[in-house]
Structure formats: C-alpha cells, structure tokens
Amino acid sequence: MSTSRITKYGSVFNIGLQNTFVYRWNYFLRALFGLIPLAGTVFLWAAVFKERGGGLHGYDYGSMIYYYLLTILVSNLVVPTEDEWQIAADIREGQINSLLTKPMSYLAYRTSIFLSGRLVYSFVTLPPIAVIFIYFREYVVLPNDPLVYVLAAISTVMAAFIQFFITYSLAMFAFWILEISTIVFIVYSFEYFLGGQMFPIDIMPAAVQAVMKWLPFYYELFCPVAIFLGRLKGPDLVQALTIQTGWLLLTWMWARFMWRRGLGHYQAVGG
C-alpha cells in the first residue's frame, strides 16, 4: 500500500476516532450493564457443579467462570458495534454516492471506521472489565508460555476481522431489501449459540464439535479463548489457526463479492 493510501485511510481512522469518542459514555454504560448477565452465569454454574459434584469435560467451577470472563473480554475487543446499521443506512440513504466518486475503497473505508470504533470501545470498556477480573482473581490463571499470548492475540485479531467481514456482508443486503434487521438477528443468534458465548463449545459431544469446528462461528470468539486457556494444543491448535485463516480469507472475499454485486444492482436501479 502506498504512502498516500495509508495517509488517506489514516485520516478516515482519525475522523472515525473523533466521532466514536463522542459516544464513550454510551459504550461505558453498555459494557457495565453487559456484565449483569455474568451474575446469572455465576449462579447457574455454581448450581450445576454443586449438583454434579465434580468437573465437566475438564472444567471446574473456577475455570468455567474464568472462561466467561475471557469471553466478555474478547467479545468487547472484537464484536462490531452497530457497523451493519451504519453501512445499511449509507446504502439506503444514498450516502455512498459521495464515496463512489472518490478514489477510495468502501471496504477499506469501513474497515478504518471499524478499527477506530474498536479502539475507543475497548479503551472505554476495559476498566469495568478489569474490575470484574480483579474481583474473580482467584480463578484467573495466566499461561506460562509466552507463545500462547502471541497465538491468542493473532487469533483474536483474525476473529475481529471475521466478525467485521460477516457484518459488512450482511449490511450489503440493504442493496436489495429495505430492512436487514431480520437477517442480522438470525445470523447473530447463530453466532451467540455456536460461537461460545452461551457455553464452551468443547463441552458438546465430539460429533457436534467436529461439525462446529468447520463453521465460522467457532472462530469468532471461542477459538482465541480456548487458545489462551490452553484447551487447544499441538495439532488441534495448528488446525484451528489454519481453518480460522481460511475463514478470514473467505469472509473477506465474500464481503468484496457482495459489494460488487450490490453496487451493480444499486447502479442499475439508481441510474
């Protein structure tokens, strides 16, 4: 990428940073109230482990709570915040017209906005999350191997872009339909159920896990958390990162494809 292109998208990033920071208190309150379900999770798994009187697929009460702490952290780092609605509004209201006349990739433009939003959102929401980690510090066990931190960070970055490209692709449906909320909520329901937010994927039966490992949802949240917890090692770790890389490329290609198809339809209808 040339210096001029870097400067151009750097300016977009800076503008997005300023615009997003206006809503910092909204983000803070959203993160704060988003922690409320953790209380229900704590009581739920306390009852489960008390009833079982033992562990569950390698998890005990402490490691299960730690797992949910990490999912909260990773989800705040990677999950797009209203990007699909903003992109859909750009299309529906014709705001993309001004961008079509400029030498600028809309995908790169929205990626810059996404990155600036993630930076502000993470900066604002990490303090309350840190307080929760401190409160449950007796369950926090950090990895001893530095490589785990590196691989978990790489997986987290890929998870963020996979989520963004899927979000971007969903927003492209605004070229064809007026309201995309139904499609978005259906996909998000799958993400919530199959991505590891509701429960760890590796407590499922082996046959179910084998299928889920080939779906993108597995790599949107669970994969980086499992790497950090040391639940993916050796060949399983290599396979997971390879498949995650594949999904990153596929979702990027699909996002570009949806834009081209949608733009052709938009030009045909809008003249």
Instruction: Determine contact, residues 196/225, Cβ cutoff 8 Å.
Output: yes
Residue 219, number of CB atoms within 10 A of its CB: 27
Tell the burial category of 68 from Cβ atoms under 10 Å away from its Cβ (0-12, 13-18, 19+).
Answer: buried
Compute CA 38 distance to the chain's CA centroid, rounded to the nearest angstrom. 18
Q: Give, as one character, the DSSP assignment of residue 95.
A: T
Predicted confidence at residue 237, as pLDDT, reads 95
Instruction: Determine contact, residues 259/107, Cβ cutoff 8 Å.
Output: yes
Instruction: Determine contact, residues 217/190, Cβ cutoff 8 Å.
Output: yes
pLDDT per residue, tens digit, the chain (271 aa), is 556 566 655 665 565 555 655 555 565 666 666 666 666 677 777 777 776 666 677 788 888 888 988 988 898 888 887 788 888 888 888 878 777 777 778 888 888 888 877 777 777 778 888 888 888 889 898 999 999 999 999 999 999 999 999 999 999 999 898 888 889 889 888 888 888 888 889 888 889 889 999 999 999 999 999 999 999 999 999 999 999 999 999 999 999 999 989 888 775 444 3
- Of 204, 194, 192, 200, the C-alpha closest to 79 is 192
Residue 261, CB-side half-sphere exposure with 13 Å CA sphere = 13
- Considering the entire predicted model, what is its pTM? 0.85
The interaxial angle of helices 222-229 and 61-78, nearest 10 deg, is 130
Instruction: Determine contact, residues 206/120, Cβ cutoff 8 Å.
Output: no
Residues 107, 12: Cα–Cα separation, whole Å: 12
Predicted confidence at residue 94, as pLDDT, reads 80
Q: Which amino acid is at 67?
A: Y
Residues 213, 118: Cα–Cα separation, whole Å: 26
Residues 49, 102: Cα–Cα separation, whole Å: 59
Q: Which amino acid is at 74?
A: V
